[in-house]
Amino acid sequence: MSTQHIPVLISEEAIKEKVQELALQVSNDYKDKELLVISILKGSWIFMADIVRKLEKIGIKCDFIKASSYGSKKVTSGKVKLTGINTKSIRGKHILLVEDIIDTGITLKAIKGYLEQFNPQTIKICVFLDKPSRRKVEVDVNYVGFTIPDKFVVGYGLDHAEQFRNLPYIGFIEE
């Protein structure tokens, strides 16, 4: 599918404004503290990079965790597989878990529960997109970019079968 056929849901300009707003909130909440920012791969790395570049007056370390529950499908399998994080870096730290989208909540709940085993000082969650109509489990999210309708979205790091991550906006694939 060509990117010419992907309708825009959230513009590039709106994304830039929201990233700045979220970074300001995080900067105020963690002023003069050190923060371990953990990106959930693959979808959130562009969002995380943009947020981290805008954080001020905070010591930053970054790490990544890979979570998969979709494969190449448009619907989650409900089983979350986690790989890739250095768990020794978590103990006693302030953690900001950065995710591209929360829909069912299953993946975020699993990751937060997993990280809590390693005794961080705090864990807060920052999601770029929230799709509450699909929620199956509740998860406390501290920072939300945009609330969106139940559409399959791509762009700004989000993909469908590894395509469309490079779009500078959020678009949607029509069924």
Q: Which residues carry out catalysis?
A: 103
Task: Report whether 17 contacts 10 (CB < 8 A).
Answer: no
3-state secondary structure 64-88: EEEEECCCCCCCCCCCCEEECCCHH
Name the helix (H) or strand (E) containing 135.
none
Question: Longest C-alpha distance within the chain, in Å?
Answer: 47
Cα–Cα distance, 51 to 33 (Å, whole number)? 16
Rounded CA-CA distance 51/45 in Å is 10
